[in-house]
Amino acid sequence: MLEVLKLTHTYGDQTALDDVTFEVGESELVSIVGKSGCGKSTLLRAIAGLMEPTDGEVRLSGRPVNGVPDDLAVVFQDYSRSLLPWMSVRDNVTFPLKRRGLDRTARREAARSALEAVGLSDAAGKYPWQLSGGMQQRVAIARALAYRPSLLLMDEPFGSVDAQTREDLEDLLLQVRAASDMTILLVTHDIDESVYVSDRILVMGRSPGRVIADLSVGLPAQRDRIETRELPAFVHLRSEVGRLVRANVSSEAA
Domain ranges of the chain: 1-71+152-254, 78-148
Structural contact between residues 1 and 24, judged by C-beta atoms closer than 8 angstroms:
yes
Instruction: Give the whole-angstrom CA distance, residue 156 versus residue 247.
Output: 22
Instruction: Give the whole-angstrom CA distance, residue 44 versus residue 202.
Output: 13
Structural contact between residues 225 and 170, judged by C-beta atoms closer than 8 angstroms:
yes
- Find all residues with CB under 8 Å of 24, minimum gap 6, and list them: 1, 2, 30, 151, 183, 185
Instruction: Give the whole-angstrom CA distance, residue 165 versus residue 10.
Output: 36
Of 101-105, 111-115, 250-254, where does mean pLDDT reach its minimum?
250-254
Pairing, β 183-187 against β 55-60: unpaired
- Find all residues with CB under 8 Å of 246, minimum gap 6, and list them: none
Instruction: Give the whole-angstrom CA distance, residue 148 versus residue 94.
Output: 12
Q: Is 80 exceeded by the pLDDT of residue 160?
A: no
Q: Is 60 exceeded by the pLDDT of residue 16?
A: yes
Domain 1-71+152-254: CATH class, spelled out: alpha beta
Rg (CA), the chain: 18
Predicted TM-score of the model (pTM): 0.86
Average pLDDT over residues 168-181: 82
Instruction: Give the whole-angstrom CA distance, residue 237 versus residue 240.
Output: 5
Q: Is 80 exceeded by the pLDDT of residue 254?
A: no
Averaged confidence pLDDT in the chain = 87
Chain centre to alpha carbon of residue 41: 11
Q: pLDDT, tens digit, for every residue of 83-104?
A: 899 999 999 999 988 888 888 8
Taking the CB of residue 7, how many other CB atoms lie within 10 A of it?
Answer: 25
Instruction: Please name which of 92, 57, 52, 96 lies closest in space to residue 73, comparing C-alpha atoms.
Output: 96
- Find all residues with CB under 8 Å of 225, minimum gap 6, and list them: 167, 170, 171, 196
How much of the chain, in percent, has pLDDT values that exceed 90?
37
- Find all residues with CB under 8 Å of 129, minimum gap 6, and list them: 85
Q: Where are the alpha helices (DSSP H) in 83-231?
A: 89-94, 104-117, 133-147, 163-180, 191-197, 227-230
**Exposure string over 201-236, b if 16+ CB within 10 A, otherwise e:** bbbbbebbbbbbbebebebeeebeeeeeeeeeebee
Q: pLDDT, tens digit, for every residue of 18-32?
A: 899 999 999 899 999
